[in-house]
Structure 1
């Protein structure tokens, strides 16, 4: 099944709509983005329904957009509301139901591969499943927005920083954050320059440079004033401009420079250049003649 959301086509796992009339209905939209580490994205509106006791093989990160949820995780009772973030560990049984005061809720879940956090934090997550952390919640909400039309490098960066925050929260100690390293930033830049048109991942770079992904991001951003993702996108757009002016079709340019489809390429190109790739390429036809005519100068 495929589903169109905000103009983007997604690979949807299922869409469920039970009990009418609105708004007292249960609605679910779920999909699997083509991003490593994310097993499923799950958005739901639940009313007058209790999830049976069950478990997942994944870590579950949950935010509530409206209402409140009660859930029993193993033998612990927990609740989640709109200003909290909840994390449920893999293979631990739980249920879920609307808090009586509201009778319904809207939520967004991320089901993340078991390697999202170290397995030794499972017990901590059972004891302390919910946190009040506005910055973390905003980061998770922004990640959901990016997953409508995902950019792998961007999502990988956001997910790594979210995982780091959860790890510090569950370890219950102040974060020990390594100072940014200019030399590591330079090495990462060399790595990115060598993989601009490839399927570059920060996880690969982290293994190569023996640093964590969050540390690479902080070091690079401190050194160059731009995130690794934004740097790669800018380099790809720079390469695309040259290929378009040489006459290469936009669809081929998109794949040549590392974008996974033409829509993805067009969105970034227009953001950087202000026009679509097709209009940019067409502008080259007769450009010297137009520039010599009165009223056609720029700047």
Structure 2
């Protein structure tokens, strides 16, 4: 695409996104990555996918994972994570992202939750991989809706129905995360966040890092870029998106967006809007 700078250091690397009007709250993704390392980011959606070749290394909920070929990756909403290659050839993978409310509406079950982030089992991963591929290639709305139903039926035995809030009982940092989301475009100071958790600034900083394995600024940037992703998918211009999420200009948005999603905002917007 003319005017869109290359993001990946390796020419064969790519990332593609798709959204469809008949699948609200659902985003499809395919990629091959060999040298790129994704900074901490969030999708605020269930992220389920399979490793098609190679191997991926990622950090999720404070633990380090290595996912080889025929692995099934299952991430819960609002969980920061990273991603990088675990082998010389990189890794090829496909994902589906589903918003929690849409998951509940599609299945009739509330409180979906995956206890395991990684399952390396060809008997589980291969059927899911085939369904994801068919969903990507499907050419009609009815075919895509049918395949999504099949995919959810495959995933249902791997999930448990438990409300996240009930499971974890809430935490003082929940208020901090809400404050970050509510003030994306504001110049937030450490003292403000510490006050939300009723801690001194430096005690807060240590405790926050120990819990989430990222700094408050990294989490804020993850929320800003996810909100930017939603606004771009709605068709808003990149420059206005940058301003609305608290970034200095479109160039800042482009750099930060690519570091977390491996694609420029303009290219992402063309992909998801073009599919529609």
> What's the TM-score, normalizing by structure 1?
0.44
> Larger C-alpha radius of gyration, 1 or 2?
1
Greater relative CO, 1 or 2 (CA 8 Å, sep 6+): 2
> What's the TM-score, normalizing by structure 2?
0.48
